[in-house]
Structure 1
Amino acid sequence: MLKSSVFSLPLILALIIFISGFSTTLSADGMTHRFTQVEGSSAALDDYKGKVLLVNFWATWCPPCIHEMPAFNRLQQTFADEPFQIIAINAGEAQETVVDFLEAFETELIFPVWLDPEWKGFGEFGLRGLPTTLLFDKDGNLIERVVGEKEWDQPDVYEPIRSLF
């Protein structure tokens, strides 16, 4: 009995270290993965410290993801004069696929689109599906995680975001 509890302690410690690796802040020592913007330049969420961030992970083959895009545009417009930024991160697709999709999409997006062709954001943020949207306050703390589609341009969504300014 004592032997099994000795072996379980390292397992428990490893699990705690693994879970703590999924930081919920955009601090300099966490969330440091750099993404490629659809235009080709490099960017990281840390670059937006001081702004409220709404980060959406999506894919071109995901109907709920596509349905959210116009609402994200309207939400970005609603908070255009605030320290607020939406960033859409495409998960698992090649740059050419995303560019072709954006060129054919009926709505021009007014927020940055980044690429994550190797799904690294899934590990870094502990994601489980698409779409997933993460809301961070100005200090980089994770405030809300939404898995699945949401109507982002509704008044009941505005107040919790507005309270973060």
Structure 2
Amino acid sequence: MILAALAALNVALAGPWPALAGSEDVVVEGAWARASVGTSRPGAAYMTLRNTGNEAVTLTGIMTPIAMMPEIHRSTTNDKGVSTMAPAGEITIAPGESVAMAPGGLHAMLMRLQEPMNEGESFPLTLTFSGGGKVIIEVPILKLGARGPEG
């Protein structure tokens, strides 16, 4: 019950507010993840990263205590309808631009889960940028079939 209340508060606070740690030029909006079926399959997190500064910022990695192998991945579908997924490497965000992490595209892939991702809970995710800047966000976990931050 307390976890559900905290998750609801996190969803309410996940709006377009600057992150409280790390680069003040990066704003994280609409962070969310789907509940997982146990720990045998990877999880994923989604969000939009907005660079409010005057210089490009480069996302170099992610960390979270719930996954031993968190990475930024990109899903693509070719002209024959075949989808593939691979590590995306570093992501550079130009000044005044945004990068969306959404199902079917860029996303935070959470491999080797250490605990199930349960609906109504949340987890911390640290975004690391070139130059050592970090942004720590709290990612609310929505229902298994969620399609966006509104559920």
The reply to whether TM is greater than 0.5 is: no
Taking structure 1 as the reference length, the TM-score comes to 0.25
Q: Which has the larger radius of gyration?
A: 1
| Greater fraction strand | 2
Taking structure 2 as the reference length, the TM-score comes to 0.27
